[in-house]
Structure 1
Amino acid sequence: MKHHTLDLESSVLHRVLCCCIAAGLAVAWASTTLAADSTYDKDANASKVKTFPTVVVTANFQQSPLITVLDPKAPQQPIPASDGADLLKTVPGFSVMRKGGSNGDPVFRGMAGSRLAIVSDGTQLAGGCPARMDPPTAYISPALYDKVTIVKGPESVIYGPVGSAGTVLFQRDTPHYLEPAASLDASATVGSFGRNDQTVDFKGGTPQFYVDVDGNRTHSDDYEDGHGDKVHSLYNRWNVNTAIGWTPDPDTLLELSAGTGNGKAAYAFSGMDGVKFLRQSTALRFEKKHLTETWSKLEAKVYRNDIDHVMDNYTLRRPDPNSSMPMAMASDLQRDTTGGRIAATFDWEDLDLVVGADASTSTHNVRNGGPEGSSMGYYKALSRVRDARMEDQGAFAQATWTMTERDRLIAGTRLDRASVRGYGVAMSDGDSGMSMGSMDGGMSMGMGSESATADVDRHATLPSGFVRYEHDLQMPATFYAGLGHAERFPDYWELFGQHVNTTIASFADLRPERTTQLDIGLQYHSERLKAWISGYAGVIDDYILIHYGMTSGYASNIDAHVAGGEAGAEYRLGNDWKASATLAYAWGEDTTEHRPLPQMPPLETRLGLDWDNGTWSAGALWRVVENQGRVAVGEGNIVGQDLGKTGGFGVFSVHGGWRIDREWSLTAGVDNLFDKAYAEHISPSVVELQGFTTSTRVNEPGRVAWMKLALSF
C-alpha cells in the first residue's frame, strides 16, 4: 500500500501554524514584561481592570480554555443575527453555508451537520428537510437567549452525544428574586432590503414564583449582491416562548416552559423554498441544590420538540417548465423529538464531579404532493408516512480535579447506545426511488413504491471521552492541552438524505465516524492586553464523505487528518481606543483518496479598531479571506460540496453607537461599505431563476446599512 506523507515544510498549514506559534511566543514575552515584579492574583488583577462595555461586537473572543461565551442580545457586525448561524459566523473558526437571506448551515473548522452539536436550552433540536433547508439553528432566534457557549473540539461529554468538532449551547438564565422585581429587554432593528426586527424579553417574579416571556419577529426582502443583482432570499419569522417557575425555597426549582414559532424563507440554492417552519416545544425542569455537604445539585429535565417543515416551488416562486421540477410540488417533513436528562453534581475540596444519563428519540415523517387540485394530490390531505426513527441513550461522568493552586485536570467519559430504524428502505440500487430536483435541493419523492422494500434496524455502542490539563502560569496566562475522542453514529441526512443512496446495502455499510483530536493553546488576560491561541490536530477514522452526482449521490467511509487553529488579540491603546485581530485556519486531508478533504474554509483574518468614550463609540472592521485552492470537486458533507477553487476577498465595515442613558442605546453600521461582490468558499451553487442573479455560488449581500434601538431596565 502506498503511504501518503504530508509535506508540512511547503504547505500553507506550516506557515500558518508557524505564525500562530510566533504569536503565542510574542504574547508570552509581552505578558512577562507586563507582569514583571508581580505574581498572578486573579481577584486583585480583575479589580484593577477598567470595564468598557462593548456597544457593537465585531469579533467574539475565546474567554477560557476552549470556551467562547457570546452575548446574543448585543448588536453584532455584520447586521444583528436573524438566526443561530448568523450569530456563530462572528466567531473565529466558524463559516456559514449561505442558502438565501437566512437559515444558513453553520460550519466549524470545516466540520458541519451532527459533527457540530447544537443544544437549545438543554434540549436536542433537529430539522426535517432531507436537503438541509432547516438546520437546527434555523429554529433559534439568538436574541431570545441570555448567552451562547461554544465548546471547541470533543472536550465535553455532559450535553448529549458528543460533537466531534464542537458543541454550541444556546442558554437561558434562570431568574432569582429576593423580593418582587421585573426586568425588560426590547429592541427594534431596521436595515437595507426591508430588514425589520422586533424583540422583547420580560422577566418578573417574587421569591416563590417567576415568569419569563419573550418573543421576536424578523423580516427581510430579497437582498442585492455587490453587482446590484437580486438574490432570491426574502424571509419572515416569529417566535414566542414562556417559562413559569416555582421556587418554594432558595434551593428548589420547578419550571414549565413552552414555545412556538413559524416562518418562511426563499432560497437561491434550491429548486424549492421553505414556506413553513413550525416549531412547538415543551419542557419540564426540576433542580435541587445543597442536598448534602458534598452533593451540591440534582437536575432533571424532560422535553419535546416538534418540527413541521413544508417546502414547495409555487408559493414564493413560479414553477419553471424547463427545470427538473416543471410541476407545482410540495413536501411536508415532520420531525418529533422527545428526550430527557438527569444529572447530579458533587463538590469535594479539590474535586468536582458531574454524573448522569440522557436519552432522546426522534421520528421523521413525510408526505409529498402538490397544491389543491394537483394531479399528485393536495399534500395536506395525504397521510404522513414514517421513514425513520433514531434513538440514543447515554451515560456520562465529567470531573474537574484541582491538583494545585495553578494546576487542574478535567476529564470525562461517555457511553452512548445509538439505534436507528429505516421504514420501507429499498432492497437494491435500482429500487431506491427517483430524486426530484437532485442537485438543486429538491425533494425525494420515493417513486419506487412498486419495488421491494423492507424495514431495517441498526445499533451501535459508542464510547467517547477526553482529558485536559490546564496550568496557570506566573504571568496572567493559562496553558492547556487536551486529548479527546468522539464516536458519531451516521445521522439522518447521511442515511436517508437528499444526496445519498438510500438502500439496505448503504444503510448497513456506513460505519460510525471516530475522531481523536489534540487541542492545545494559551490564554492570556492582563489589564491592557487580552490574547489567545488555540491549535488542534486530529485523526478521523471512517469519516463519512458524501459523493455528489448529477442526479444522485452516495456516502462512504474514508480516513482523514485535520489540523488548524484560531488566534486573537485585543489591545487597549488608551482609555478610549482599542485594536483587535483574529486569525482562523482549517486544513483537512483525505488520506484514503490522497486528496484534500472537502468543505474546508480558507485562511481568514479580522482586523478591528474601536473608539469608545463611554457615551459615543465608533469603529471599523476589515475582514480578509485568502484564496482556497485545496478542493475536492464533487465531494462534501450533508451541507454541501466543493464547487471549485475560489479567490480571496476583503470586506470593510463601519459602525457607531450612542448610549443615550442607562436604559437606552442606539447603534448603527454599514456592512460591506464598498459594495464588494463576493461569495464565500463554502457556498452552494445557485439555481437559475428568472429575475435573479445567475452567479455560480450564492453571492453575499452588497452594501447593508442598519440601525438598532435597544431598551434594557
Structure 2
Amino acid sequence: MTLRTLALRCAVLQALGLHGALAAEAPAGRVDPAQTLDAVVVTAAPVSALTFELDPKLPRQPVPASDGADYLKTVPGFTAIRNGGTNGDPVLRGMFGSRLNLLSNDGSMPGACPARMDNPLSYVSPETYDRVVVVKGPQTVLWGPGASAGTVRFVRRTEAFERPGVRANGSALGGSFGRNDQRVDIVAGAPLGFARLAANRSEADDYDDGNGQPVPSSWKKWNADASVGWTPDADTVVELAAGAGDGEARYAGRSMDGARFKRESYSVRAEKKNFGGRLSALEANAFYNYADHVMDNYSLREPNPMSAMPMPVAANVDRLTVGGRAAASWRWTSLDLTAGVDGQRSRHRERSGLGRDTYRAAPWSADARFSTVGAFAEATWRASASSRLAYGARIDRARVEDQRATAGMMALPNPTFGETRRESLPSGFVRYERDLAGSRAGWYAGIGHVERMPDYWELFSPNLGPAGAPNAFAGIAPEKTTQLDVGFQYKSERVDAWVSAYAGRIGDYILFAYQPGGMMGTMSRARNVDARIRGAEAGADWRPAEHWKLGATLAYAWGENRSDGGALPQMPPLDAKLTLNYDDKRWNFGALLRASAKQTRIAVGQGNVTGQDIGRSRGFAVFSLNGGYRFSDRARLSAGLDNVFDRAYSEHLNLAGSADFGYPAEPVRINEPGRSAWVKLDVSY
C-alpha cells in the first residue's frame, strides 16, 4: 500500500469525526481497550474453565479476518474448511456444522445454501462486534440446543453513558492482493439512552500462492448495524437494533460463486439487573434474521463448456429465522442459578434458472420448515472458597417438515413430502472446578451429554439416506454426544499456562460419503455411525524480562469411526504456534511460527456437506512478523508480513480446486496465500 493510499484512508477517518482522537479524554466510566490489551493478537488463552473471550477489534496476525470463521482460528482448537479467500466453514476439534452453536447478537443466522456456501459466520464481520465468547465442549446449556462441540457468541453491547457525549472508533486496513477494509463505530448518548452505528466494508482481489500462481479468491462485502437504547437507570436497558449487509465471493474450490450474501436483521433486547433481593437479573431478546443468497457460474467467472454446467445457471435460496429467549437469574450466598426458555422457527425456500438472471422470474418453492422450543437451567454451587460445582440441563422439542414435492436432479416425486418429524432432545452437564495455590492454579473436570437434531444440510442436502431409507429426512437419527472435559490453569508473575483435554463417544454420528453418480455427477449419502473422539489443546506464556513474552500453543484432535473401524474424516492435524513479542507500550514487535503436521489418518470420500477427505496432506511451517506503534492511547498503527518466506502450502481441510479454473480432475487442495503484507490504523475518540 502506498503512502498516498494510507494518507487517504487517514483522511477518511478524520472526515468521519475521528480527527480529535489523538487529544481527547476518555468519557467517564469507559476503559479504552488500547490501554489494556495486547497490540497484535495471534492466539488466545482461556479466561476461565473452557471459556475464551476476545476483543475482535484488536489487530490480528495473520491479516485481520474478513469473516467469523477466519477470526475463530485465533482460538486453539479451531480450524476452518477453506475454499479460497473468505467464508470458510468453522471447525472445532474436528466437529463441524450445527455441532457448533453459532450466535450473532444472541440470535441465530443460519445460511441458506444447500452446500453451506453461506455458512452462518459468512454473515459476520468480527470487528463490528465488541467481544467474542467461546465455550468449548458440551459445558453450557444457556444458549440453545445441539451445542455438542461448543458455543460461539459474537456479542455487541453498548456501555451506558454517565453524561452526554460521543464515543467513536474506526480503522482502515490495506494490504497485498488488493486487501482494502474500512470500519467505523459511533455511539452518541446520555444517561437516559444512546444511538449507535457500526459499519464496515471489506474487499480483496485473487491472491497468489507461494508458487506465484493466482488462486480465484476475490471478495467484496459490507455490513451496517444501527441500534437505539433506553437506559432509565444504570441497571436497565431496552435496545432496538436493525442491520443489513451484502457481498460477493469467488471460490476456487466450488463450481459456482457467491453472487449475493444479502442479510436483514432486526432484534429487541431488554435487561434488568440488581433487584436487591435473591433475584439478580431478568433478560429477554427476540430476533428476525433473513438471508438471501445467490450462487451462479457467470457473475465472477465464465461458464466452463466442458463442465457439468456448460451454460449460465443460477440458484437463489433464502432462509427466514425468527426466535427469542427469556431468562432469570438468582443469587444466594453459595448458589447462582439461571433458568429460562428459548425457541426459534425457520423457513427455507429456493428457486433457480438457466440463463443469466432468469431465476428472478422463477417462483419460490419452500422445501423445509424447522422449529424448536427449549427450557434450560444452569447453576453454580460454591462448595467452598476454592471449589465450585457447575451443572445444568435442558430439554428441547424439535419439529421439521419436509415440503419438497420432488427431489433430486430428475425431479422424481418425494416419498416424504408433507411428512413431519418430531424429537424430544435432552442435554446436560456437570463440572467440578478447584482452585489451588492461592488461586494461582486450578483444575476442572466435567462431563456433558447432548442430543442434537439433524440440521437442514444433513436432512435435505444428501442425494441418498441410509440403506433401506427413502432419503436422509426419513432415515437420519439425532446425534448423541457424551464427552469428558478436563483441564488445568496456572498464572504467576512470569508464567501463564493452561491445558485442556477431552474424550467423547458420539452415537449416531452423521457421516457423509461421496461417490461418482454417472450422469448426475457426484452423489452423496448420509448415514449414522458410532464414533469416538479425543484430543487436547495447551498454551503457555513466559515473560523472561520486562516488555518481552514468549508463547506457545498446541492443538490435537483424533477421531475414529467405530462402526467401520477406520478414521473419522475431516480431522485437522496436530497444529502448533510459537510466538515472540516485545511491547513497551509505545512500540511492539512480534514473530509467529506456525507449524502443522502431516495428516495420514483419513477416510477418502467421506466427510460432511461442505468437505471430504481427498487424501493425505503434507505438513508445513509458516513464519510471519508483525509490529506496531502507539501514537497515543487513541491511535495505533499496526503492520504485518505473513508467510515471510513465501511458502507454498495448503491446509488439510481445504477444498479441492475446481476444474473451471484449470485445476486437474484428480483432486488437488487449494494453496494458501504466499507472502503478503498489511498495514492497519486504529483510531478512537
User: Does 2:42 match 1:58?
Assistant: yes
What runs of 5+ residues in structure 1 fail to find an aligned partner?
Answer: 1-50, 427-431, 435-446
Equivalent residue for 2:526? 555
Match for 2:578: what amino acid? Answer: L
**2:159 alignment partner, one of 175, 181, 203:** 175
Alignment CA distance shift 1:663-1:499 (3 Å): farther
* CA displacement at 1:370 relative to structure 2: 3.3
* Aligned 8 A contact 1:231 1:692 in 2: no
**2:585 alignment partner, one of 614, 624, 643:** 614
**CA distance in 1 between partners of 2:74 and 2:511 (Å):** 27
User: Does 2:602 match 1:634?
Assistant: no
Equivalent residue for 1:531? 497
Aligned positions of 1:426-465 closer than 5 A: 432-434=407-409, 447-448=410-411, 454-465=417-428
**CA distance in 2 between partners of 1:691 and 1:613 (Å):** 49
Match for 1:712: what amino acid? Answer: S
Equivalent residue for 2:146? 162
* CA displacement at 1:398 relative to structure 2: 0.3
**1:384 alignment partner, one of 364, 369, 372:** 364
What runs of 5+ residues in structure 2 fail to find an aligned partner?
Answer: 1-34, 517-521
- CA offsets per residue over residues 269-312 of structure 1, 9 Å max, x none? 11100000001000111122233501111111111000000000
Equivalent residue for 1:39? none
* Aligned 8 A contact 1:231 1:693 in 2: no
SS at match of 1:380: helix
* Aligned 8 A contact 1:666 1:708 in 2: yes
**CA distance in 1 between partners of 2:464 and 2:186 (Å):** 45
Equivalent residue for 2:453? 489
Equivalent residue for 1:711? 683
**CA distance in 2 between partners of 1:522 and 1:675 (Å):** 37
User: Does 2:362 match 1:396?
Assistant: no
* Aligned 8 A contact 1:237 1:261 in 2: yes
**CA distance in 2 between partners of 1:683 and 1:295 (Å):** 49
* Aligned 8 A contact 1:605 1:624 in 2: yes
* RMSD after superposition: 1.6
* Aligned 8 A contact 1:620 1:654 in 2: yes
Equivalent residue for 1:601? 572
- CA offsets per residue over residues 100-152 of structure 1, 9 Å max, x none? 21000010100010011101111011000001101100000000001001100
Equivalent residue for 1:682? 653
**CA distance in 1 between partners of 2:462 and 2:294 (Å):** 15
* CA displacement at 1:498 relative to structure 2: 5.3
Equivalent residue for 2:270? 286
- CA offsets per residue over residues 163-182 of structure 1, 9 Å max, x none? 11111110112321121122
- CA offsets per residue over residues 646-674 of structure 1, 9 Å max, x none? 11100000011001111110000011111
* Aligned 8 A contact 1:499 1:638 in 2: no
Match for 2:477: what amino acid? Answer: R
SS at match of 2:184: strand
Equivalent residue for 1:658? 629
Equivalent residue for 1:250? 234
**CA distance in 2 between partners of 1:494 and 1:286 (Å):** 35
Alignment CA distance shift 1:500-1:181 (3 Å): farther
Alignment CA distance shift 1:574-1:370 (3 Å): same
**CA distance in 1 between partners of 2:99 and 2:511 (Å):** 12
**CA distance in 2 between partners of 1:221 and 1:708 (Å):** 18
* Aligned 8 A contact 1:98 1:683 in 2: yes
Equivalent residue for 1:419? 399
**2:436 alignment partner, one of 473, 477, 480:** 473
User: Does 2:61 match 1:81?
Assistant: no
- CA offsets per residue over residues 63-104 of structure 1, 9 Å max, x none? 211011111000110000101011011211111111121000
Equivalent residue for 1:352? 336
Equivalent residue for 1:592? 563
* Aligned 8 A contact 1:230 1:691 in 2: no
SS at match of 2:207: coil
**CA distance in 2 between partners of 1:513 and 1:526 (Å):** 41
* CA displacement at 1:499 relative to structure 2: 5.8
* Aligned 8 A contact 1:425 1:504 in 2: no
- CA offsets per residue over residues 411-448 of structure 1, 9 Å max, x none? 0100000110011255xxxxx421xxxxxxxxxxxx41
**CA distance in 2 between partners of 1:53 and 1:595 (Å):** 45
* CA displacement at 1:52 relative to structure 2: 6.9
* Aligned 8 A contact 1:344 1:356 in 2: yes
* Aligned 8 A contact 2:265 2:288 in 1: yes
* CA displacement at 1:561 relative to structure 2: 0.6
**2:481 alignment partner, one of 512, 515, 518:** 515
SS at match of 1:424: coil
Alignment CA distance shift 1:138-1:321 (3 Å): same
Using the size of structure 2 for normalisation, the TM-score is 0.92
Equivalent residue for 1:337? 321
**CA distance in 2 between partners of 1:500 and 1:218 (Å):** 39
SS at match of 2:459: helix
Using the size of structure 1 for normalisation, the TM-score is 0.88
Aligned positions of 1:106-255 closer than 5 A: 106-255=90-239
Match for 1:361: what amino acid? Answer: R
Alignment CA distance shift 1:337-1:52 (3 Å): closer
- CA offsets per residue over residues 187-216 of structure 1, 9 Å max, x none? 000000000000011122111011121000
**CA distance in 1 between partners of 2:661 and 2:123 (Å):** 29
**CA distance in 1 between partners of 2:462 and 2:112 (Å):** 11
* Aligned 8 A contact 2:657 2:663 in 1: no
* CA displacement at 1:500 relative to structure 2: 5.0
